[in-house]
Structure 1
């Protein structure tokens, strides 16, 4: 699958939709690239949001590749960045629930129960708009 072009500048909605599709296809690295494109081209006040989401996707990529310590570190960083948003729900995302899910994946890694497919599904489930 080709990489995301350097000049890709998705809207927030495009980035989220594309990231969801890529995660559903088991391609967290490519989801990371889409979210990173939004982080680099979006408004400065949303940098932590997009960077945190991108870091979570890189963490999922590390699980797929067997780098569990790298996965835990990036999932933890991503979760912390989302925590800066408190209870706000940008783009109707429940960031608190997403951060809790990332922390649960990190716990599974620490306990030796990390499974890439389950981790991707868990994060994807929380990357949907809240009601």
Structure 2
């Protein structure tokens, strides 16, 4: 079997301590895999249970740093570990973060699609529960942000999307 420049056998899969497939390659700020010997940004640990305020604060810090892929992982943890009645909210926020990731990577079609899918999940969650600001989240502002960015990406007026500059404010204007 031949090897890559990092000494890894071609076709070898990264595994975690339980033997599950896990990509161990370093990643850039937008979550793109880098060569094994490259310096990447710190990855978010998976499966962390946080309180909703911790989730929102950590995700906002990552969004502000231009790391929406990593914010998506924080939302995904909340989606998977939170109460069943909130899963659509966290899933929608994760989709919005991935939509911003794709838009910033230059994938306008995928970015717009995920921004709209996430907005719909948040809209339906808010409508179903009647909650206007769950966990202090500005759901109305997030819906407007996602729809505006999706439209701008699709019609070309967004230009190159800067993930940090165009990140949403989860709790509204600072």
| TM-score, length basis structure 1 | 0.89
User: What is the aligned-residue RMSD (CA, Å)?
Assistant: 1.9
Q: Which of residues 36, 43, 67 is equivalent to 1:27?
A: 67
Q: Which of residues 113, 116, 121 is equivalent to 2:161?
A: 116
Query: Do the aligned partners of residues 121 and 48 (structure 1) sit closer, same or farther apart at CA in structure 2, a change above 3 Å counting?
Result: farther
Correspondence list, 1:1-131, <5 A: 1-84=41-124, 85-86=126-127, 88=131, 89-114=133-158, 115-117=160-162, 120-125=164-169, 127-128=170-171
Q: Where do 5+ consecutive residues of structure 1 fail to align?
A: none
Give the C-alpha shift of residue 103 in structure 1: 0.3
Partners of 1:24 and 1:92 in 2: how far apart? 17
Count of matched residue positions in the alignment of Structure 1 and Structure 2: 129
Q: Where do 5+ consecutive residues of structure 2 fail to align?
A: 1-40
Give the C-alpha shift of residue 47 in structure 1: 0.4
Higher RCO, 1 vs 2 (CA within 8 Å, ≥6 residues apart): 1
